[in-house]
Chain A
Amino acid sequence: MTPQDLSTKNPSTWCPGCFNFQILAAVKNAVAKEIAEGKPGKTKDDFAIVTGIGCHAKMFDYVNLSGINTLHGRVLPTCLGMKVGNPNLNVIGFSGDGDAYAEGMEHLIHAARYNSDFKYVIHNNQVFALTVGEPTPVTEIGFADKTTPLGVKLQPLNPIKLMLAAGAGFVARVFADIKQIEYVMQEAFKHKGFAFIEIIQPCIIFHPDAGFKEKTYSLEQAGHNKSDFDAAWKKADEFDYNIAKNIPCGIFYQKEKSTFEDLWPQLQQLKKKGIGWKDVKR
């Protein structure tokens, strides 16, 4: 299994130079590595992806895995339903910032609470890109476009703090850089439970000012203790999603607890048998 084995024949329609190419490459690398290890329950058929609507959703077109390119904002309940349908699946959900923080906000808070064992990747370019550049709930104050010519007036949402407050057991933010993403995805795969991975990226067309690599620093190198909730909260406060210089990146917080699938005897049984409901005879 190589990353190329996860490619499709669909022609790429992202803008040349888009940072989504970095995310795509990193995701394929990380998944290919998981499959190449040859562990039981980690074949290609055991992986599934879910995408929302927006530029990020083209991930579905370019990653040759089963799953669903679903509705705007509804990635998380879809992932949950798939895990309930077959708790043995390795499900990865992808959303944009509009998908995760606007249309689907209510699901995000509950996903952190449910702690179903799937991974959630947010392509955060702090703008609605595929609908040509409108502000999202994480766009900085002052950003102006045709819908908001007077400029964004409201303080952007801080998703890292939101996820910490909502009880997420794995909270990470990385820059759209292959190595950073691959590393954090591997860590997320090892983590038992819901993993929140935000990838900050500029949109080179509609939001070139948003988070560049040079403006970030590594939490790990700064000696951050990811098991310390209070430290994570302080680090989360360092970047308020307005244009900034020192953006902490890496795993803010990690703590394993019972997953959604651990809590229902019906799902435990399916896990033990390595099957989904499809194979339950009645």
Chain B
Amino acid sequence: MRLNIVIGGKAGQGPNVLANILGDMIVKNGHYVFSSRDYGSVIRGGHNFNALTILDEPVHSNDSKIDILVALDDKTEEIHKNSLNKNAVILKGSDRNMYYAGRLVKLLGMDFKFLEDELKKLKKFDENLKDAKRGYSDEKQNKIKLHNKKSSNSFSTGTQGVAEGALKSGLDVYYAYPMTPATPLMFELAPKQLENNIMVLELENEIAVIKAAIGSAITGAKSMCGTSGGGFDLMAEALSEAGIIESPLVIYLAQRPGPSTGVPTYTGQGDLDAARHSGHGEFPRLVVAPGDPIESAELTSQCFYFSQKFKMPCIILSDKHLAESFYTMQGKPKLAKSEKTAMLKRYNSYEHDEKGEMVETSDDINKAVEARLKKAERIREEAEKFEMFKIHGKKDSRNIIVSWGSTKGAILDAIKGKDAKFMQILYIEPFSEKIKAELEKAENVIVVENNATAPLAGLIKDKTCVFVEDKNKILRYDGRPFFYDELKEEIERRIR
């Protein structure tokens, strides 16, 4: 049984901290937790909440309904009352967040000492412990008995996956300008820069960020920069430069709903085409889309691999839902190893010969353009050696659901036990030539995307001539991720 807990309150009341320690504790007790975060663009006030879904087997999404609601303010109950399941428990009052941690621990039948251990990691230990103890003794129900067995599963975000992948791939310098939801990567990398002996720099804008990243890359450093859609737009000219000068470069692009400022603290997948096409001119690039923290680490390492081996820009396409949600992960990522291949020489943004000297004759331009075309082909061949897509679920099903990125979690949960398989596309660019055959094997192709115009369906049409009917496009574009129960119904309706 999926157990759904929502913890809500004003920004500043600490629903997020409470959710994180609760999730951590439950994972350590051998359960699986998926925890996502919903917050507005405010520092104090507003309404923020975290949704935790708990299960005895792997879980990767939340439900639209709530079993336990922790309301740190009155507004929380008002906003969520229509989502409550029958017999839902509501914990509310005017106490501080850790009081409710105590009550939840009792309610979930967990040992108090786990909470005490968690509180040791936070500031104001004595105050928090007092609150938590009072909550524990005030709670009289013990509704659920979560078992207590040791687990080595990790509880981490997509952001942490990217950070792990980058550090283990030998990252030297990371540049960024603050922009939600890419900033958490700076939060991961910056505090440990001395320990890891890397540079983490915030510069005056995204143009400076990518230009400095390229400047470092051409001296031989392993260089990376991060941003979200608006900042990525500013980087476009330099992305094109990285293409012509052949600089290794890894770009972390964490999407949020656009266009323009859009909805800064919510999630969406509207930048697939921007990642594929941004930057003028024609040049090879890599675009990968992880769907969980382990894939985030693995694909980040593959971006370093490709960027160094082929001296090219590589883009990790994430979004707010993947970047900021906590996933219970089993096992460790399998990371690609990469060398440092670039060196200081003559680089030229002007069309140039092998020595970096500018050229303008027809023959020389043809030679340079065709060299890039051949390189793109070599990149595609090399990419086929990696897992460019995954097939999950019932392998011989005639129903195939195709998607990319953070929708993975809800789809995996929704197709459990269904006559459906799920093709998760990890490599957006280049696009695997094997995808066409996989799609043609199926009779019913369904696309799931967190956007309004289904760019993946468009890409599939371009690359494979497989046409996805409009009624088979399951799209959500309200800034929220897919919920398990709602998506399950949408899929059931389309399965033949």
Contacts and interface: CB of A to CB of B under 8 A. Distances in A.
Interface in B194-243: 194, 197-199, 201, 203-205, 207-209, 211-223, 237-238, 241
B57 interface: no
B172 A71 contact: no
A69 B245 CA distance: 9
Interface string B172-206: 11010000000000000000011001110101110
A276 B173 CA distance: 11
A8 B357 contact: yes
B349 interface: yes
Nearest to A78: B215
A77 B241 contact: no
B397 to A, nearest CB: 44
B194 to A, nearest CB: 7
A66 interface: yes
Contacts of B238: 71, 74
B212 A86 contact: no
Contacts of B205: 106
B114 interface: no
Nearest to A69: B348
A267 B343 CA distance: 18
B194 A77 contact: no
Interface string B146-175: 000000000000000000000000101101
A83 to B, nearest CB: 8
A69 B347 contact: yes
B349 A69 contact: yes
B207 A66 contact: no
Q: Bin the interface of chain A by size.
A: 35 or more
A276 B220 contact: yes
Nearest to B209: A77
A278 B215 contact: no
B221 A278 contact: yes
Given A61-B357, A74-B207, A106-B204, A89 B349 contact: no
B346 A277 contact: no
B348 A68 contact: yes
B350 interface: yes
Interface string A180-219: 0000000000000000000000000000000000000000
A74 B238 CA distance: 9
Nearest to A276: B219
Contacts of A60: 346, 348
Contact of B221 (A70, A71, A85, A107): A85
Contacts of A278: 219-221, 340, 342-343
9 contacts: A50-B215, A67-B344, A69-B350, A71-B349, A78-B214, A82-B219, A85-B172, A266-B194, A277-B220
Given A67-B346, A266-B193, A277-B173, 18 more contacts: A50-B215, A61-B357, A69-B350, A70-B347, A70-B349, A71-B237, A71-B349, A79-B215, A80-B215, A81-B212, A81-B216, A84-B212, A84-B221, A85-B221, A86-B219, A106-B205, A266-B199, A277-B221
Interface of A: 8, 10, 45, 48, 50, 60-61, 65-71, 74, 76-86, 89, 106-107, 110, 264-267, 269, 276-280, 282
